[in-house]
Amino acid sequence: MSDEDMPATQQELPTVPAPTPGSLVMDVARGQVGEFRCVRGGLWSLRPIEGGQHWTVAPADTRPVTPRERLRAETTRRNARSRGALL
């Protein structure tokens, strides 16, 4: 049986290697940069840069951040810390 004839549940989905915890990742579905935390049930757990509620995303819906997005996220994090926000 070829892959094309296999039910979708049995086909191998492309895997995206998980980044190192603490790495910045762009969630393209939300258009938001998050800090990678861990893998849970095949989904990635991301945390907002300025702190707050974690969310999950399919690895296929992510991409590495650009240098500009990284700079913006790091600035956002520093500003939140300077305001005394809980991180």
Q: Report the SS3 class of residue 76.
A: helix
Residue 47 pairs in a beta bridge with 35
pLDDT digits (tens, 9 = 90+) for 14-57: 577 899 999 999 999 999 999 999 999 999 999 999 888 999 99
pTM of the predicted protein model: 0.75
If you write DSSP's letter for every residue of 4-55 in order, what string do you get?
A: GGS-TTTSPPPP-PPPPTT-EEEETTTTEEEEEEEEETTEEEEEETTS---E
Instruction: Kindly tell me if the per-residue pLDDT of 65 is higher than 50.
Output: yes
Backbone torsions φ then ψ of 32, nearest 5 degrees: -130, 140
CA 28 to chain centre: 9
